Chains A and B, each alone.
Chain A
């Protein structure tokens, strides 16, 4: 019995590989180009602020007064300016890191895209890069398959480890559901003829490279909505800070441009603004590491919303072949006798069912017989007799369909079927199993119960999906009774019996009509319409080309319950964005308490030069007004690189229900977001203040 394929995770590229770091640092400077920054309104505002403070510093260097009033020293303006530039650089580094990890994966993939000369079926040759849809190529053992296509002739083993990471070669053959081959994989035995199904430059491999590099990255709907919210918040703070100048003047307090900009940058959601695109890129990267290729970020995000998952029964929930699970003797027949007869009748039966009977018989302590010593003559299965068996020692042992065995027993004198037989045959049929009757000459010994066997570990996987709020629906061609039985055993929530491709499509449409998001996993050509209709269609890599093109994700491991990991990545994407947004906004409370008392320290002071009433709001007891402002700006900047690991790894998701999850994240990122900067700013102030000699 094979278990559910292990979810296999590619090695994460280490965050601190020297070449990635070097490249990221370089990129972070290149990305200072305003034309790049304008795409991110939050960071664009920071960059403009950095520019203005730099000018203010230069003016002060030249002996001028601080821009906008106040009497802060030049070092203050310089320090703020430097940290504002660093804020932008840190944001760029975050993005560059995420891209760098993808790029490292892409380069290994790109190595597979070697230029080769291929032989077409008509004998002519052509460079692999010029192959177009419809070309037919011949690939011999040891050669690389030059492009995506369908096997139209032959059967071969193919090493797909380069894209799937799975080292065991897989079989690819013409016709059926295992006909798709991927460019860049290698034929390890035999010879196949492949019809190319891709246009030049649009192969699976090309798309995969583009995806992990983030080249094709478009903002997803939730990302756009969040971007709007962040832009709105930025606008609010621009106005709040702009209004502070007249507010200050009314209270006889001059506030410099540098201080206002420092406050503005501290308030606008730079933390999430800086990490937003890194979160998106890293999410895609995490998916690729789980061996899933999503054709758009939109699909990944949609997977977090999945309500219903449709699964094919055969090959997905069950192993796809029937296995003996029980021997049911007729009255008066010992169970061991039936087991032995069944085993003998199956010894030559090489079908999976036959082998499973032998395996089951072993559990009755029946040893394997030595074929040669018992002078057995095997009777193979034919469509006419509908039974098989063995003749030995003058006895005829047969197993087969119930009516065929009854007929066999009754043709001999005295042979008759006990009434219990029909009862058992009917019961097993009703339960969704397949009964095989066993006879020794005219005596019917009993029945073998063949069951469709459910893969191990499926129930746990479905429970997990249910905890995530996803209903599983099994789709099968079986009749209702059989389907109900298997559905119950496997632990799926619902099933669709006697399903045709049209019925599958109708079911998806019906669910969508009710507002549910539907995911579907499938591999066959007849799954293609349903895969296309589903909101998230995960095609198995072992499937046909049609299925792979219809879906919006391909699972390279061909594991139907991979959806759990896909959904997790989708949810993590949103959670990470939401959590860091909350954190970013919650931080503002502390920043107000750092900067505003510093700004208004002397306002309405009883004596000139003394401290005004608002200095009591300096609850963090920060050293000087200047060190307070600088500390807030530094905290605001360094929190970005400190959160890069969370942005890249994603905030963990646990299927504990939405309310519990919300509470948990509100505690950590909401309350934590309020408290953390109080501590951080105080610590930075301690260092700065002491550095400056108190």
Chain B
């Protein structure tokens, strides 16, 4: 570990701490209907959109209406995107003349982008037309992110709601999120990326002659515009197959940090939005603190594990003079221009959040290092988490922690003054448990069934890790992969004659949708249930949710739920692997 590495990590996080109250405060203004400076410019657009979609945004929706709007919007988006991806031969902006992927892979891809996951069985530059990338993937990168934020905001409104059952208006929240939050940052961010060397073109792939005289093709495309929202919206689906490791997506050390700042800025700021909307900034900082602790542990372990090197390096007696016991680190699958610290930081951030963008190969991480992304997913994506989804799942955990802690102080548990009763516990438990249970059941099915085993590349614990990670990632709507696990066979550079592996595509697709929308429905139901409740003023006997004791309790609950659910799976995957010198 180097000082420069740690400085990088500390500076990155200091910037996040600084952004949080500013952007968080801005978003609180957006969602409470206060005037924001952008309204002068974008206000007419906003109202124009309402007229076109005929939305009566003055009418508040109760949780059912809000949920119905979310589902309707998502279903329409799904159908449209499926149509786009299946008609590639008709597309404009398809210079390479790509065919459409088979139905099963498309099913998986569409569901994946709808759910803010961006699990990619396909390779972007070898299968997707520019039109699919822009009108299909990039559009969903914006709106799927917006849906997550809307649901989180609706939950906050439920928590603070004092009279009636209204959670706001989905259409208004959606339009405002895209117009006032995502688009402005994305436009500026894309310009920054382009300035550093990310590309943006609709032209043909380039031909070149390599140093050995071999003819080659270089894939190009409208990269920067997709890259920025891929990170900002915690989507993670790269334009290129190699994602954030590709120099056109992530050209240098500066963009490496800039991109993960984009990743963290909204999820982190939403804690401040929460704090402001509930009327106590400390509440927001308490969540921020809990997330920070888990983030710091993750990045430190991953950094240390990779610096320590692999068993193979140790077996070969590779030792540097600089640090005793160090092999100079495991650089397999990492980009030289990011180094170990830049890789550890980037991949901790993208697996803490449901981004899933990667700038290194997880498959090549050390056993313990590989356990970090896995553990991050096992927390249910609440370490800052996906845009919106991180906050709303975290708030479900808060409900659970408040319930257990509240009992221990001898009062009917209250969340910001609202009593937590059987209905909320039922909804919150289901909302939290669906994701891990989906991952477990799917992994069990995938390794038990012959149709599932054809997707697994490696043997032994590594094969298990690949499979487990695939379903953990899809259930958590993360999208990063351990590689090795496949749902798509592509024989040539183009995608003619390719076919999908139906079992993996459908099981994954089901996980994506189920583990996204079921929790959303439970979250909105909790919001509806809390909205009508009376608020009890806090007294001496009320458990506080904004002090260190609660932060510790909250972390304990998150880790205990994750550990108890996934300990057996981690045991036969990364743990057994890190305990042996045997190479898989």
Residues 436-453 (chain B) with a chain A CB within 8 angstroms: 436-437, 440-441, 443-445, 447-448
Cβ B560 vs Cβ A585 within 8 A? yes
Q: With the chains together, A248 CA to B433 CA distance in Å?
A: 23
Asked if B403 lies at the interface with its beta carbon under 8 angstroms from chain A, I say yes
The smallest C-beta distance from A65 to any residue of chain B, in angstroms, reads: 21
Asked if A423 lies at the interface with its beta carbon under 8 angstroms from chain B, I say no
Q: With the chains together, A436 CA to B410 CA distance in Å?
A: 50
Known A228-B429, A658-B541; judge A571-B568 contact (CB<8 A). Answer: no
The smallest C-beta distance from B281 to any residue of chain A, in angstroms, reads: 19
Q: With the chains together, A552 CA to B460 CA distance in Å?
A: 64
Asked if A111 lies at the interface with its beta carbon under 8 angstroms from chain B, I say no
Q: With the chains together, A315 CA to B281 CA distance in Å?
A: 47
The smallest C-beta distance from A280 to any residue of chain B, in angstroms, reads: 13
Asked if A400 lies at the interface with its beta carbon under 8 angstroms from chain B, I say no
Q: With the chains together, A689 CA to B421 CA distance in Å?
A: 46
Asked if B188 lies at the interface with its beta carbon under 8 angstroms from chain A, I say no
Asked if B333 lies at the interface with its beta carbon under 8 angstroms from chain A, I say no
Q: Which of B24-32, B127-135, B141-149, B544-552 contacts A (4 or more CB under 8 A)?
A: B544-552
Known A225-B422, A613-B579; judge A251-B410 contact (CB<8 A). Answer: no
A305 neighbours in B (Cβ, 8 Å): 411-412
- Select B447's contact among A250, A307, A585, beta carbons within 8 Å: A250
Asked if A76 lies at the interface with its beta carbon under 8 angstroms from chain B, I say no
Cβ A614 vs Cβ B571 within 8 A? yes
Cβ B568 vs Cβ A606 within 8 A? no
Cβ B405 vs Cβ A515 within 8 A? no
Q: Which of A152-160, A342-350, A665-673 contacts B (4 or more CB under 8 A)?
A: A665-673
Residue interface mask B566-584, A partner, CB < 8 A = 1: 0111011001100110100
B407 neighbours in A (Cβ, 8 Å): 222, 226, 574-575, 577-579, 581
Known A247-B568, A579-B408; judge A606-B540 contact (CB<8 A). Answer: no
Cβ B410 vs Cβ A304 within 8 A? yes
Q: Which residue of A is nearest B581, CB measured?
A: A613
A614 neighbours in B (Cβ, 8 Å): 571, 575-576, 579
Cβ A515 vs Cβ B535 within 8 A? yes
Cβ A666 vs Cβ B552 within 8 A? yes
Cβ A661 vs Cβ B443 within 8 A? no
Cβ A606 vs Cβ B582 within 8 A? yes
A517 neighbours in B (Cβ, 8 Å): 536
Cβ A596 vs Cβ B567 within 8 A? yes
Asked if B529 lies at the interface with its beta carbon under 8 angstroms from chain A, I say no
Cβ A571 vs Cβ B444 within 8 A? no
Known A240-B564, A666-B553; judge A658-B540 contact (CB<8 A). Answer: yes
- Select B441's contact among A222, A243, A661, beta carbons within 8 Å: A243
Cβ B564 vs Cβ A588 within 8 A? yes
Cβ B543 vs Cβ A247 within 8 A? no
Cβ A578 vs Cβ B404 within 8 A? yes
Q: Which residue of B is nearest A219, CB measured?
A: B422
Residues 260-313 (chain A) with a chain B CB within 8 angstroms: 267, 301-302, 304-305, 307
Q: With the chains together, A247 CA to B544 CA distance in Å?
A: 41
Residues 419-470 (chain B) with a chain A CB within 8 angstroms: 420-422, 424-426, 429-430, 433, 436-437, 440-441, 443-445, 447-448, 460-461, 463-464
The smallest C-beta distance from A245 to any residue of chain B, in angstroms, reads: 8
Q: With the chains together, A661 CA to B569 CA distance in Å?
A: 36
Asked if A676 lies at the interface with its beta carbon under 8 angstroms from chain B, I say no
Q: Which residue of A is nearest B569, CB measured?
A: A247
Q: Which of B430, B553, B568, B580 has most A Cβ within 10 Å?
A: B568
Asked if B1 lies at the interface with its beta carbon under 8 angstroms from chain A, I say no
Asked if B534 lies at the interface with its beta carbon under 8 angstroms from chain A, I say yes
B403 neighbours in A (Cβ, 8 Å): 225, 229
Q: With the chains together, A237 CA to B463 CA distance in Å?
A: 24
Residue interface mask B504-542, A partner, CB < 8 A = 1: 000000000000000000000000000000111101111
The smallest C-beta distance from A333 to any residue of chain B, in angstroms, reads: 51
Cβ B444 vs Cβ A243 within 8 A? yes
A575 neighbours in B (Cβ, 8 Å): 407-410
B409 neighbours in A (Cβ, 8 Å): 571, 575, 578, 658, 661-662, 665
Asked if B417 lies at the interface with its beta carbon under 8 angstroms from chain A, I say yes
Cβ A581 vs Cβ B404 within 8 A? yes
Cβ B464 vs Cβ A250 within 8 A? yes
A250 neighbours in B (Cβ, 8 Å): 447-448, 463-464, 572
Cβ B426 vs Cβ A663 within 8 A? no
| Chain A residues bordering chain B, tally (CB within 8 A) | 77
Q: Which residue of A is nearest B400, CB measured?
A: A229
Cβ A612 vs Cβ B576 within 8 A? yes
Q: Which of B407, B429, B563 has most A Cβ within 10 Å?
A: B407
Q: With the chains together, A579 CA to B405 CA distance in Å?
A: 9
The smallest C-beta distance from A194 to any residue of chain B, in angstroms, reads: 40
Cβ A221 vs Cβ B576 within 8 A? no
- Select A251's contact among B461, B534, B565, beta carbons within 8 Å: B461
Cβ B572 vs Cβ A600 within 8 A? yes
Q: With the chains together, A257 CA to B426 CA distance in Å?
A: 30
The smallest C-beta distance from A351 to any residue of chain B, in angstroms, reads: 43
Residue interface mask A548-587, B partner, CB < 8 A = 1: 0000000000000000000000111111011101100110
Cβ A243 vs Cβ B564 within 8 A? no
Cβ A604 vs Cβ B576 within 8 A? yes
Q: Which of B408, B433, B464 has most A Cβ within 10 Å?
A: B408
A226 neighbours in B (Cβ, 8 Å): 407, 425
Q: With the chains together, A468 CA to B540 CA distance in Å?
A: 7
Residue interface mask A176-190, B partner, CB < 8 A = 1: 000000000000000
Q: With the chains together, A470 CA to B445 CA distance in Å?
A: 55
Q: With the chains together, A243 CA to B445 CA distance in Å?
A: 9
Q: With the chains together, A302 CA to B421 CA distance in Å?
A: 13
B549 neighbours in A (Cβ, 8 Å): 659, 662-663, 666
Residues 43-96 (chain A) with a chain B CB within 8 angstroms: none
The smallest C-beta distance from A293 to any residue of chain B, in angstroms, reads: 22
Asked if B497 lies at the interface with its beta carbon under 8 angstroms from chain A, I say no
Asked if A352 lies at the interface with its beta carbon under 8 angstroms from chain B, I say no
A200 neighbours in B (Cβ, 8 Å): none
B410 neighbours in A (Cβ, 8 Å): 304, 570-575, 653, 661
Asked if A235 lies at the interface with its beta carbon under 8 angstroms from chain B, I say yes
Cβ B537 vs Cβ A578 within 8 A? no
Asked if A541 lies at the interface with its beta carbon under 8 angstroms from chain B, I say no
Known A575-B407, A661-B409, A665-B408; judge A247-B444 contact (CB<8 A). Answer: yes
B552 neighbours in A (Cβ, 8 Å): 666
Asked if A646 lies at the interface with its beta carbon under 8 angstroms from chain B, I say no
Cβ A225 vs Cβ B440 within 8 A? no
Asked if A467 lies at the interface with its beta carbon under 8 angstroms from chain B, I say yes
Q: Which residue of B is nearest A235, CB measured?
A: B433
The smallest C-beta distance from A636 to any residue of chain B, in angstroms, reads: 15
- Select A600's contact among B430, B537, B571, beta carbons within 8 Å: B571
The smallest C-beta distance from B411 to any residue of chain A, in angstroms, reads: 5
Cβ A662 vs Cβ B425 within 8 A? no
B540 neighbours in A (Cβ, 8 Å): 466-469, 655, 657-658
Asked if A38 lies at the interface with its beta carbon under 8 angstroms from chain B, I say no
Cβ A662 vs Cβ B408 within 8 A? yes
- Select B440's contact among A228, A239, A600, beta carbons within 8 Å: A239
Q: With the chains together, A570 CA to B463 CA distance in Å?
A: 53
Asked if A232 lies at the interface with its beta carbon under 8 angstroms from chain B, I say yes
Asked if B556 lies at the interface with its beta carbon under 8 angstroms from chain A, I say yes
Cβ A589 vs Cβ B563 within 8 A? yes
Asked if B487 lies at the interface with its beta carbon under 8 angstroms from chain A, I say no
Asked if A224 lies at the interface with its beta carbon under 8 angstroms from chain B, I say yes
Q: Which residue of A is nearest B438, CB measured?
A: A239
Query: B interface vs A, CB < 8 Å?
Result: 400, 403-413, 417, 420-422, 424-426, 429-430, 433, 436-437, 440-441, 443-445, 447-448, 460-461, 463-464, 534-537, 539-544, 547, 549-550, 552-553, 556, 560, 563-565, 567-569, 571-572, 575-576, 579-580, 582
Question: Could you write out 11 A-B pairs with CB less than 8 Å apart?
Answer: A225-B422, A232-B429, A236-B433, A240-B564, A244-B568, A267-B564, A573-B410, A614-B579, A657-B541, A662-B550, A666-B408
- Per CB-CB distance, the 9 closest pairs between chain A and chain B, nearest first, are A578-B407, A571-B410, A469-B541, A469-B540, A578-B408, A515-B536, A232-B429, A613-B579, A246-B448
